[in-house]
A and B are shown apart, each in its own frame.
Chain A
């Protein structure tokens, strides 16, 4: 049994299956949408995590990704645009026994909810955020988002966008994120794996899923996810293993000076020993940031768990402070409070 650092959340006494989490609602995403695969991954991973099914809490904001809670049979709350992180913060602080999961999109979290996104991460509240990054506003039908590549023609950028996009990983690490993983919607196994790792991590976990919107930004991630190119365009990071990728497993990543470099094994005498070995648990985010930023054409995109560093969580510290105050304060109830300080009797 894999050890879970979180002892607060009660575990299920019976083995759960996918069926325990199927809701009775009709799934209304477009056929071919990447969201279906994310739903499949969640259905896979929740029983594996093993918490009581009543202790799962799904929270969302607005957008296609935010319909998610209706499709999972847990406690669920569909909030308002951009505010899922704030709502979830209240839920987890108020009720640490819940395993809180947020489903959100690039518009919901990077634009209207950007402030809440960076602050929940900074506080390291123990929630899991699945960030559906399709680089477009889908539910409002095709406007550019904060992650749309510069120059893209969309309904609100007929001449191409003139905005520099966010790289979510960079934003997460800039906000002192303790956990960041990336997956692609076409790989349910990988999604399941990183979601499990996210659940295991005590702190704010962000899983960015490169998700395809078939209607408004179809194939936006094709250069990374297409069958023909994916082995060379992605590197699956595994803790403790050298960073090797490519169809022929002949390419690797090494540190040259202050930068990462893609090298070919066997060329110029380069061996596995020259490659970086992934350490997802290291505290210093320097290499994690470089890995999160890797992008074509010069680098593969990093998938898997990029960072998983241990820091105290906000919700644990709240409980610690309350326990300490209860043990040391003279004010044990509201009558004590009302009668504290300067009071006097009038007869």
Chain B
């Protein structure tokens, strides 16, 4: 490639592709991140798309984006500010400029900036000419016309040509990063195996983008990022929802219990359902039910008959499942309920992320109905927590709520592939045939767990259900003392799970001026902010919680060592109020945001600085 430009060495860079939904921004972002991964860089991605499938053309409402952060060090977040913005139309530039850093490179499709589109985006004048972008490195690339030129010799019409504009933009970005387009060309070869002319077209367009960038004077420098230093092993890129699905498949294999998912499509959880539907070869039974309630009830039925039973949903669906979760509590059956949280209440912000279902997960049922609540914290660790949730559900005969969120579910990260045999054992408490002592609610004295007697087994016929049962015998009982006993046992059984989960870790010293407390999908940002201040010598530490109900056994001590505690979460203060209830000896400050957006490292750093 050209050697006329300077190389700038960088630790990391944030690239965002934005355009009309339908402009292929999600694909461009995915191809870009795959290329980065194959070059040995660490990365995190996040798609940012509207709820509408095709909102009106060229409007702000219709803007779809895909953000990727790549770097040579461990990438924990998708980055606060965008360094390279590819904007395919005026509306996408307008709505995303605020996320770019000072002096960011803006690559725009100049052809799309016609009068009508500029007006539709809400600009009074053309931003490419009115000087408003003077502080940026603006690349006014006539992407549409050059794409058409590139495929003209191959005989493609304008409509087909315009579908590959995203690939032209990708070529420009590859040039800036000095990447070879090999992995992307491989993708086209595979994808268009049956339409070889499209392989040629995409190749011509991608090379068109590279060549254009090589010739244009607006590009003053190229960026170079060296390979990330990562632990040895085999890696792949994975989204949180796929990782969740795969964690369940691994748990089914290791436990020997067949996997059953009963689910109903809901954004942003649907990918788990779609992903598991692919693996019938692994015996996974996936039932797309008629509604959320049937999703969980079918899972409860499958659980009674011996499956690793799952249901997946988001906040509104969790509301619908509440009564059935109570049934699983009462019948003490294993069940994992995944809540990929989104903005609420009601339909809320379906495609935006929030942590506002925590109270619902903990307490949103009639009666005293405790369940285990676990939260994943990165796209890749969704695999681990799906596995652990299954293990706890199966071994402790209880519903487990696994909390992820839209940014974890849709976001991606590099994932070090484990060997399934290296994962912890899962040993469900199966009742054996003709066990003379079997009683439905006879419990293990240590764990308080009852046995799982699967229909079809000789000698274990029994009846259970949603009515209160007599302890041990399982007969229907309205006896006051028994109800008290069973209520206490159900609670104690959940609390006993604390003996089987790891202690809470602290990132940093065990004592200091400020303890940052966070949970779930915010780990990337809270950790980055805390590490930044630690590097400045501040006495700040992080306790990021994965186990919420029950809390880790050492939670009390973890909170004890600091002058101040601040709980940061993307809601109005749900975990902090839970801590106030469970650990009332401490005073808690809180930092909350309910905008459908993740925290930025900068806002956290400035908040923590105020307190230090």
- Bound CA span A98–B454, Å: 11
Which residues from chain A contact B236 at a C-beta distance below 8 Å? 338, 341-344
B451 to chain A, nearest CB (A): 14
Within 8 A of A (CB), among B282-301: 282-283, 285, 287, 289-291, 293-294, 297-301
Residue of A nearest to B248 (CB): A334
Known: A54-B457, A331-B281, A343-B236. A87 touches B297 (CB 8 A): yes
Interface of B is mostly: mixed
A339 B234 Cβ-Cβ under 8 A: yes
Question: Which of A95, A318, A344 is in CB contact (< 8 Å) with B306?
Answer: A95
- Bound CA span A74–B456, Å: 10
Segment among B58-66, B217-225, B416-424 that sits at the interface with chain A? B416-424
- Bound CA span A74–B304, Å: 13
Whether, in the assembled complex, A288 has its beta carbon less than 8 Å from a beta carbon of chain B, the answer is: no
A21 to chain B, nearest CB (A): 10
Whether, in the assembled complex, B253 has its beta carbon less than 8 Å from a beta carbon of chain A, the answer is: yes
B279 A119 Cβ-Cβ under 8 A: no
A339 B463 Cβ-Cβ under 8 A: no
Whether, in the assembled complex, B581 has its beta carbon less than 8 Å from a beta carbon of chain A, the answer is: no
Which residues from chain B contact A337 at a C-beta distance below 8 Å? 246, 249, 279, 282
Which residues from chain B contact A332 at a C-beta distance below 8 Å? 281-282
A55 B455 Cβ-Cβ under 8 A: yes
A54 B297 Cβ-Cβ under 8 A: no
Segment among A78-86, A188-196, A263-271 that sits at the interface with chain B? A78-86
Which residues from chain A contact B458 at a C-beta distance below 8 Å? 54
Question: Which of A89, A324, A338 is in CB contact (< 8 Å) with B287?
Answer: A89
Q: Considering only CB atoms and an 8 Å cut-off, how many residues of chain A contact the other chain? A: 61
B305 A57 Cβ-Cβ under 8 A: yes
A322 B283 Cβ-Cβ under 8 A: yes
Whether, in the assembled complex, A299 has its beta carbon less than 8 Å from a beta carbon of chain B, the answer is: no
Q: Which one of A25, A60, A87, A91 has the highest number of Cβ atoms from chain B below 10 Å of its Cβ?
A: A87
B300 A335 Cβ-Cβ under 8 A: no
Known: A78-B463, A119-B290. A90 touches B234 (CB 8 A): no
Chain B, residues 253-264, CB within 8 Å of chain A (1/0): the string is: 100001010100
Which residues from chain A contact B465 at a C-beta distance below 8 Å? 60, 69-70, 76-79
Which residues from chain B contact A92 at a C-beta distance below 8 Å? 301
A90 B281 Cβ-Cβ under 8 A: no
A132 to chain B, nearest CB (A): 17
Question: Which of A78, A94, A339 is in CB contact (< 8 Å) with B305?
Answer: A94
Known: A89-B298, A115-B290, A343-B235. A77 touches B464 (CB 8 A): yes
Residue of B nearest to A95 (CB): B305
Which residues from chain B contact A119 at a C-beta distance below 8 Å? 289-290, 294
- Bound CA span A339–B417, Å: 7
Whether, in the assembled complex, A284 has its beta carbon less than 8 Å from a beta carbon of chain B, the answer is: no
B258 A54 Cβ-Cβ under 8 A: no
Chain A, residues 95-109, CB within 8 Å of chain B (1/0): the string is: 101100000000000
Chain B, residues 569-599, CB within 8 Å of chain A (1/0): the string is: 0000000000000000000000000000000
Segment among B34-42, B74-82, B504-512 that sits at the interface with chain A? B34-42
- Contacts A78-B466, A322-B281 known; list 9 others, CB within 8 Å: A77-B331, A79-B465, A87-B298, A90-B260, A93-B298, A94-B258, A94-B285, A94-B302, A344-B40
Could you jot down 23 A-B contacts, CB within 8 Å?
A54-B458, A69-B463, A76-B462, A79-B297, A80-B326, A86-B297, A87-B297, A89-B294, A89-B301, A90-B297, A94-B260, A94-B285, A94-B301, A94-B306, A95-B454, A98-B305, A325-B280, A328-B281, A334-B282, A337-B279, A338-B420, A342-B236, A342-B237
